[in-house]
Amino acid sequence: MKTVVLKFGGTSVGSIERIKKVANIIGSYKRKKFRVIVVSSAMSGTTNDLINKSKLISNNFDKAEYDTLLASGEQVSCSLIAGRLNHLGYKSRSWMAWQIPILTDGPHSAARIDKINRNQILSFIKTGGVPIITGFQGINLNSRITTLGRGGSDASAIMCAKFFKAQKCIIYTDVDGVYTTDPKVLKKAKKIKVISYEEMLEMASLGAKVMQPTSIQDARLNRINVDVKSSFTNKSGTLITKRKNILSNKTIAGLTSTKNDAKVTLVGVKDKPGVAASVFKPLSQNYINIDMVVQTSSGNKKETDITFTIKSEDLSKTLKLIKQNKKIKYRDLIVNKNVSKVSIIGVGMITTPGVTYRMFQTLAKKGINILVISTSEIKISVLIGKKFVKKAISALHKEFKLD
Ligand code: ADP
Ligand code: ASP
Ligand code: MG
């Protein structure tokens, strides 16, 4: 008998009506004789609501308590799904991750699943039951509840597929697959039938919220095929799989943009070894993720400007750390919150010359100024003014024949 992991996202379980539909989807797999394991997110809006509550209590809410609070959202949706399945005559029960347990390591709010104890779940499945497991969470060695970062139920589902040796992992969401770019940003976006782990990982890391980046890393490491589908329609979705399985001739698979980046420039820092390290050391010690970095050398070789980007939510902490940092001197500190990173992603660019030129030329023709550039083997990212994002995405989508 084949095992399938079904993951439902926040919108898919966003109301009682939606939860009833989800129970019907689960029932359809049971009728096809699958062994089913379900992973669910919290009802949409719940996690944000809990975050806001923590902020009203304290602006320095304890990290472990924060995870305990946030993990509670999934308990509600999972028990409602199990309750509905019971109502329909299926054997089902909910499991909070700590009851299984799902063991994690790493810091609170960014933990990673290390191991899932299989005993209870396997015995329940053997009796025909459908376990409904809370996504997004686990426990650590101190028996404290941890969470896996926003969107982390995707990672829970993929790790369940690994530990329970599922033949399929299906991510049910509110779009019917992975698109060439966010369909909410560009109506002309097209559904991608099949995409490689590498391209999906870049897209997710660069702003395609449809999958959480760490979940794709886990899928890639464990060679788990992932289907992304809509819980609202019955259309075929997107398969995320290894490159070998893909016969596509597109240079660019997709485009992404980010919503909440900020750019910081330190003007006139000393141009000598160790300065950049002194700037970034306290930031890394405080878990602030640095994204793009450029250092421009001045003509006289005595001074340089260092520009980097971070998430806007880390901006005030970053500025505080820079101002407190006695090891660096600078003439000015410039901040720009109205920036966005636009990226093109595709394994095809490895073998196709001229992609960088085409991207820059397309933006230039639209009068869009590039502030920072970063590249890897399979992606090119540019930082531009936030107000140009739609224009840039639309022009690049056309240029790379994705329309
Ligand atoms: P869930 O709650 O099911 O986990 P998310 O909100 O996390 O769903 O992800 C789905 C959303 O991701 C879509 O509504 C869509 O707007 C957004 N998205 C961003 N980029 C893409 C893309 N390239 N393809 C599909 N959806 C995307
Ligand atoms: N409920 C969590 C969040 O909103 C996890 C998830 O949806 O995957 O981030
Ligand atoms: Mg999600």
Residue 393 has pLDDT above 90, yes or no: yes
Q: Are 69 and 9 in contact (CB under 8 A)?
A: no
HEC string of 231-287 equals CCCCCCCEEEECHHHCCCCCCCCEEEECCCEEEEEEEEEECCCCHHHHHHHHHHHCC
| Length of the chain, in residues | 403
Instruction: Using most ligand atoms within 8 A of CB, pick from 74, 186, 210 the residue to mutate for ligand 1.
Output: 210
Which pLDDT does position 337 carry in this prediction? 95
Q: Which amino acid, 403?
A: D
Cα 356 from Cα 350, distance rounded (Å): 11
In the reported structure, the alpha carbon of residue 129 is separated from the centroid of ligand 3 by a whole-number distance in angstroms of: 26
pLDDT band at 345 (very low <50, low <70, confident <90, very high): very high
> Which distant-in-sequence residues (6+ apart) come within 8 Å of 194 by Cβ?
238, 239, 240, 241, 245, 246, 248
**Protein residue with its CA nearest to atom 9 in ligand 2:** 150
Q: What is the mean pLDDT of residues 319-333?
A: 94
Cα 268 from Cα 205, distance rounded (Å): 31
Q: Are 59 and 26 in contact (CB under 8 A)?
A: no
Which pLDDT does position 296 carry in this prediction? 82
Q: Which residues line ligand 2 (CB under 6 A)?
A: 9-10, 41-42, 47, 73, 135-136, 150-153
pLDDT band at 272 (very low <50, low <70, confident <90, very high): confident
* Choice among 21-30, 129-138, 147-156, 237-246 with the minimum mean pLDDT: 237-246
Q: What is the mean pLDDT of residues 99-124?
A: 97
Tell me the three state secondary structure of residue 17: helix
**Protein residue with its CA nearest to atom 22 in ligand 1:** 182
Residues 46-87: tens digit of each pLDDT: 999 999 999 999 989 999 999 999 999 999 999 999 999 999
Tokens 């095929």 belong to which residue?
A: 225
Instruction: Using most ligand atoms within 8 A of CB, pick from 171, 174, 231, 389 the residue to mutate for ligand 1.
Output: 174
In the reported structure, the alpha carbon of residue 277 is separated from the centroid of ligand 2 by a whole-number distance in angstroms of: 34
Residue 298 has pLDDT above 70, yes or no: no
Check pocket membership of 150 for ligand 1, CB cut-off 6 A.
Answer: no
Cα 316 from Cα 290, distance rounded (Å): 14
In the reported structure, the alpha carbon of residue 314 is separated from the centroid of ligand 2 by a whole-number distance in angstroms of: 20
Q: Check the CA dihedral 44-47-50-54 and report its sign.
A: negative
Tokens 């966005």 belong to which residue?
A: 340
Of the ligands numbered here, which is closest to the C-alpha atom of 48?
2
Q: Superfamily assignment of 3-174 in CATH?
A: Acetylglutamate kinase-like (3.40.1160.10)
Residue 101 has pLDDT above 70, yes or no: yes
Residue 312 has pLDDT above 90, yes or no: yes
Cα 9 from Cα 17, distance rounded (Å): 15
Q: Which atom of ligand 1 is nearest to the CA of 208?
A: 20
In the reported structure, the alpha carbon of residue 394 is separated from the centroid of ligand 3 by a whole-number distance in angstroms of: 24
Tell me the three state secondary structure of residue 349: helix
Check pocket membership of 9 for ligand 1, CB cut-off 6 A.
Answer: yes
Q: What is the mean pLDDT of residues 291-307?
A: 84
Q: What is the mean pLDDT of residues 352-372?
A: 95
Residues 185-201: tens digit of each pLDDT: 999 999 999 999 999 99
Which pLDDT does position 255 carry in this prediction? 98
Tell me the three state secondary structure of residue 118: coil
Q: In whole angstroms, what separates CA 267 from the centre of its chain?
A: 33
pTM over cut 0.85: yes
Instruction: Using most ligand atoms within 8 A of CB, pick from 67, 77, 96, 150 the residue to mutate for ligand 2.
Output: 150
Percent of the chain having pLDDT more than 90? 90
Cα 387 from Cα 336, distance rounded (Å): 13
